A and B are shown apart, each in its own frame.
Chain A
Amino acid sequence: MDTHEEVATSYGTHHGGSVKLFMAVWSSLVAITLAEVYLAYLHFPAVTMLLMLIGLSVLKAGLIMAYFMHLRFEKFTLFLTLIPATVFCIGMMTVIFPDSLRLFEVRIHH
């Protein structure tokens, strides 16, 4: 039986994906970036623009984490441990955000 250290070391080199796949992911990331720049000049309302850009950024982040950071090739338990809790915490941070709209109204009326 391998020692604990040997087991951990062999796990540490876990790897997946091919050069072709990584090139495809990179091309997609560049294409989405250029699409974001194009969208920025289309005069959408600020909230619409923000939602579109954040949506595309989340897509890019997903591609980077899944393929470049190999999360897709790791055990699913790692995803379950890290991602749902992170999304929850980020969601909790947005709770304060509506207050900025109230403050905006207060400031323009004073």
Chain B
Amino acid sequence: MTESHTEVALDSPWSGGGSPYAMGSKKLGMWLFIISDVMTFTALLMAYSYSRVSNPDWPAHVFPIFPAVIFSTTMTVVLLASSLTMVMAVAAAHRGARGAAVKWLLATMAGGLIFCGLHATEWFHLIEEGVRLFSNPWGSPLFGAAFFGITGLHMTHVMCGVIYLGVIAWGYGTSRFKDEDVEVSGLYWHFVDLVWMFVFPMIYLMSVKYS
């Protein structure tokens, strides 16, 4: 093969010379993971909706304005704020400002921890009211499993995200990681935020207790 043929081959996106999506493999991999996780949460929310509609004794109005709705709304705003700090971290990393990027990453982690703290408090409120995985005082026992299963899986994602961002902050701050790594971790964090945008209305707002 001549030199010119080699260059043509490398220039061709479908010949291994470039990237058809114009992005690195880490970022594309994270997008594919996110899509697979979208399917997981969609299936869970679909199962939740199916159970709710098909059970005449489903506890449909269980969340009072305080603490449940106030707490969950605050959690939503905190998670959205942490997404904004994550955007700032990615922007700082893009500029090469390592110190600023690490500070924004730490702020994002703080948002995640506040979210988990508020959520755990909300869980304890429900547990005090007698809600368990397979029983509750109001109706269908599936409610507890569905509620703790979906919100618990989401909280696990948030905790994993906090640890992930911690590793990225350490690695980027010590020049072990590149700015692409910060951006890829940002994709994960925004996805966790995105999932909550569906969990919050479907689990909490569809079940508010009218005064």
A interface, CB within 8 angstroms of B: 1, 4, 7-9, 11-15, 17, 19, 22-23, 26, 29-30, 33-34, 36-37, 39-41, 43, 46, 49-50, 53-54, 56-57, 60-61, 64-65, 68-70, 74-75, 77-78, 81-82, 85-86, 89-90, 93-94, 96-97, 99-101, 103-104, 107-108
CB–CB B194/A64 < 8 A: yes
Size bin of chain B's contact surface: 35 or more
Check B54–A107 contact: CB distance below 8 A.
yes
Q: How far is the CB of A7 from chain B (nearest CB, A)?
A: 6
Complex: A41 Cα to B39 Cα, angstroms = 30
Q: Can you name 7 A-B pairs with beta carbons within 8 Å? A: A4-B18, A9-B24, A23-B84, A33-B77, A54-B201, A64-B190, A100-B51
Closest beta carbon of chain A to B53's beta carbon, Å: 4
Residues from chain B with a CB closer than 8 A to the CB of A97 are 46, 49-50, 53
Residues of chain B contacted by A65 (CB below 8 angstroms): 190, 194
A74 to B56, CA, bound (A): 46
Partner of B23, one of A4, A14, A40, A69: A14
List of A residues within 8 angstroms of B22 by Cβ: 11, 14, 74-75
Majority secondary structure of chain B interface residues (helix, strand, loop or mixed): helix
Known: A22-B91, A100-B51, A104-B56. 19 other contacts (CB 8 A): A1-B10, A8-B19, A12-B26, A12-B180, A12-B184, A13-B178, A26-B81, A37-B205, A40-B69, A40-B205, A53-B201, A53-B205, A54-B201, A57-B201, A60-B194, A69-B194, A94-B46, A99-B54, A100-B53
- Check B197–A64 contact: CB distance below 8 A: yes
Where chain A touches its partner, the secondary structure class is helix
**Cross-interface CB contact of A107 among B56, B80, B201, cutoff 8 Å:** B56
Shortest distance between the CB of B38 and any CB in chain A (Å)? 6
With beta carbons under 8 angstroms apart, the residue of B17, B76, B80 that contacts A26 is B80
Instruction: Tell me, yes or no, whether B21 is within 8 Å of chain A by CB.
Output: yes
Chain B interface residues (CB < 8 Å from chain A):
7, 10-11, 16-28, 31, 35, 38-39, 42-43, 46, 49-51, 53-56, 60, 69, 73, 76-77, 80-81, 83-84, 86-88, 90-91, 94, 178-180, 183-184, 186-187, 190-191, 193-194, 197-198, 200-202, 205-206, 208, 210
Task: Enumerate the 9 nearest inter-chain pairs by beta-carbon distance, A residue then B residue, closest first.
Answer: A12-B24, A12-B180, A103-B54, A53-B201, A100-B54, A40-B205, A100-B53, A8-B24, A100-B50
